[in-house]
């Protein structure tokens, strides 16, 4: 029984030292992994920033194209409305001439 009282604390200390060494190694590996993840996140952030600039340019171009399309549509609409208005004025004038 006395030998167990001497051997068990020694074994516990040895296992504790081994566990501490393993935890230190895992901690170092975890720090390395986190550094790699940080580099990947930084790279992705740079690429997203570049894409944001691209989307900004595309948005500006789309806005310009829609402005030109709206201008053309309003011009055509005004031409058509002027033609119908002119025809109605001609019809009203013709009816006035017929009635006189």
pLDDT tens string 69-97: 999 999 998 888 877 776 666 666 666 66
Mean of pLDDT values over 43-70: 90
Report how far apart the first and last C-alpha atoms of the chain are (Å, whole number).
Answer: 138
Task: Say yes or no to pLDDT of 68 above 90.
Answer: yes
pLDDT at position 92, please? 61
Task: Say yes or no to pLDDT of 99 above 60.
Answer: no
Which H or E run contains 61?
A: helix 2-99
| pLDDT (tens digit per residue) in 3-53 | 888 899 999 999 999 999 999 999 999 999 999 999 999 999 998 888 888
Reported pTM: 0.50
Q: What are the tokens at 90?
A: 């001609």
pLDDT at position 30, please? 97
How far is residue 85's CA from residue 77's CA, in Å, rounded to a whole number? Answer: 12
């Amino acid at each position: 029984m006395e030998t167990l009282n001497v051997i068990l604390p020694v074994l516990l200390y040895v296992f504790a030292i081994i566990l501490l060494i393993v935890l230190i190694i895992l901690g170092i590996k975890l720090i390395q992994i986190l550094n790699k993840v940080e580099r990947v996140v930084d790279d992705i952030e740079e690429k997203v920033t570049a894409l944001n600039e691209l989307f900004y340019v595309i948005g500006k171009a789309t806005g310009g194209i829609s402005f030109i399309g709206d201008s053309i549509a309003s011009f055509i609409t005004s031409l058509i409305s002027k033609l119908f208005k002119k025809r109605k004025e001609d019809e009203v004038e013709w009816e006035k001439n017929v009635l006189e």
